[in-house]
Amino acid sequence: MIDLSVNFAGVRFKNFVTVASGTFGFGREYSEYFDLSRLGGICVKGLTVQPRDGNPPVRIAETPGGILNSVGLQNPGVDAFIKTELPFLRGYDTRIIANISGNTPAEYALMAKKLSDAGIDIIEVNVSCPNVKAGGIAFGTDPCLAAEVTRAVKTVSEVPVMIKLSPNVTDIVSIARACEDAGADALSLINTLLGMRIDPRTGRPVLKNITGGLSGPAIFPIALRMVWQVCSAVSVPVMGMGGVSDTEGALEMLWAGASLVSAGTALFKDPLAAVSIVEGAETFFRENNMKGPCDIRGKLKLYD
C-alpha cells in the first residue's frame, strides 16, 4: 500500500501535496474543477487585519518561465475570512493553512490569536512584509526581526506556527535558524523573488508598481537549493515551494528534505496540477516498490 500521508509539526496531512498562498484564493474557483478533498492542504490567500484592495493594475504580468505579480495582498480581512471563507473550506477533508501578513509584530499576533481560536490547522507567517517601525525593512531579511515576529505569534497561538521565508536575502539559513530558535514549529520556502520587466516599446515598467514577485518554473532551481540548505540546517519540518510544476519537481523537493510540497503558479496554467502531482507520486512510489515519501525524504544521494 502506498502511503502519502505526512505528520507535519504534529498535524497529519493525508498526502504531502498542498497549494501555495496567493495562487488558490480561498478555493471556491478551483472547487469547480475538482474535489478539494484530494489535496493534502490548502494555503489560503494572504490575510491582513483590515480588508485590502491591493495595488492598482497592471499588477500581474507574464514573463518567460513565470509570472510577475504585485497584487498587494488584496483580501477581505481576517474577520471576514473566519466568518465567510473558513466554513466553506471546512466542508472539505483537507488541512487549512492560514497565511498572515502584518506591518508590526502586534498585527501578526492579533491575527494569529483570532485564527488560532477559530481552529485553523496551521498559521503560515509571511515575513516578507515591511516593518513600518523599522523604516520599511522586511521582517524576513533580518534574523532579529524574523525572530521577533515568530515569538509574537507563538505567544498567542494554540496551533502550529510556520514561518514563510523570503529568498531575497544573502543567507537564508541564518533567517531559518533564527525563526527555529524563536520557537517556529515549521518553515515554508521560498516566497517570490523580486523582479521587474520593461515594455521596450514604451519604456514603461510592465507593472504599475514597477517591481513584483517572480514565481513559476524559472525560480525552481533557486527554490530547491534553498530548501536543501535549510533542511540541512534545521530540525523543524519544511514545506518546499517555488516553481513546483509537476511530479518530478515535487519529488526533487522531497529528496532535498521537504516534508510538504506546495504548487502555486502552475495552477494558473493547469488547475489540476496539484492533483496530477498526487497521482504521479502514487505511480512513482508504486513503480519503484516504495511505501511513500518517507523512503526518499531528505535522502539526497551525494557523490563520493
Q: Which one of the listed residues 43, 129, 179, 231 is annotated catalytic?
A: 129
Active site residue 179: no
Q: How far apart are CA 263 and CA 42, in angstroms?
A: 10
Residue in 85, 18, 24, 20 with CA at minimum distance from that of residue 51: 85
Task: Give me the sign of the Cα torsion angle 41, 262, 185, 51.
Answer: negative
Contact 259, 40 (CB under 8 A): no
Give φ, ψ of 98 to 5 degrees: -95, 125
The amino acid occupying position 25 is G
Strand ranges in 54-167 using DSSP code E only, listed in sequence order: 60-63, 66-69, 95-100, 122-126, 161-164
Strand ranges in 29-175 using DSSP code E only, listed in sequence order: 41-43, 60-63, 66-69, 95-100, 122-126, 161-164
Contact 53, 33 (CB under 8 A): no
Contact 174, 207 (CB under 8 A): no
- Residues acting as catalytic residues: 129
